Homo-oligomer: A and B are copies of this chain.
């Protein structure tokens, strides 16, 4: 799919639920793009604590504590708080207020048809006991996006229906006040390499699946993770021909080894036999150690002064509030809710 280029006139809204530290999958899927894009256009990074609570009400301590952890991951990955606005969702009350109006612009039936919500409901085993906040989450997400007049929302392919839902709300609101107050956004789906499999070969790297490599991993964690990595279970002897497809080591080399020719040589050698897992794993480990060492070092430096990080979040949140308040004011004025 060819996507229009992101330009300096775009505004990006993206972020993460604060339910755990970020890992290599986040780095590949979003963080490294954000580090680049912060030089291209304005970028808002949402620490989605309120959204995390929609299915973690009993786990609010975890949600709260991971606000700092995710912020550390951002900084460690190279997000520059002078370039990107990093903010805490629950401290921008304008978002809840916008969402409360958007709830009037979407029907229950439409929410229930949302494929992303359907999948997530299945994934979480909610059945009929779906928290209302979970079903209505698309209205809250529409608030997050429109509050900043975001034009670009980087998402996985499975999240495209959420952006369509946002744009429906945008069009319906603008139509109901006969003015172009809200701005439509486009979903930008990462090309190749957007999703990194877990070290066990499962499609998704995820902390809860126990197959993730956190960005804060120690050299030893990295060594062990690569050692445990899923390769070709039938590649028993070095001399045997081995399979490259579904072999996590090669998938990772495709993503992380910038020397494409060398990877191609490794693959050919592995397929005809004579290349052992130990050798390719050693090679991958070196690349990952090199990638993660500066990230870990930056993380450790920032982690020594959590007060300074929270101060950065306070500033980012103030900037975000200013933008969200301006949109909310436009929205409420358009509905005549500007009494004084």
Contact surface of A with B, Cβ cutoff 8 Å:
49-50, 53-55, 57-58, 60-61, 63-65, 67, 88, 90-91, 93-94, 96-97, 99-101, 103-109, 111, 128-136, 139-140, 176-177, 310, 313-314, 332, 335-337, 339-340
Contact = CB atoms under 8 A, between A and B. Distances in A.
25 contacts: A50-B101, A53-B101, A54-B103, A57-B176, A58-B176, A60-B177, A63-B336, A90-B337, A91-B339, A93-B94, A93-B97, A96-B96, A96-B97, A97-B97, A104-B131, A105-B131, A107-B131, A107-B132, A108-B130, A109-B128, A109-B129, A310-B339, A310-B340, A313-B339, A314-B340
Contact of A335 (B53, B55, B107): B53
Contacts of A67: 339
Contacts of A313: 339
Contacts of A131: 103-108
Contacts of A107: 128-132
A335 B50 CA distance: 10
Given A53-B101, A111-B132, A133-B103, A93 B91 contact: no
Which of A58, A93, A314 counts the most B-chain CB atoms under 10 A from its CB? A93
A61 B336 contact: yes
Main secondary structure of the interface of A (DSSP, over half): helix
Contacts of A104: 53-55, 57, 131-134
Nearest to A314: B340
A307 to B, nearest CB: 10
Contacts of A60: 176-177, 335-337
Contacts of A94: 93
A-B pairs with lowest CB-CB distance, top 5: A103-B133, A64-B336, A104-B133, A96-B100, A96-B97
Given A57-B176, A64-B336, A107-B129, 5 more contacts: A60-B177, A63-B336, A64-B339, A99-B100, A109-B130
Contacts of A65: 336
Contacts of A340: 91, 310, 314
Contacts of A101: 50, 53, 133
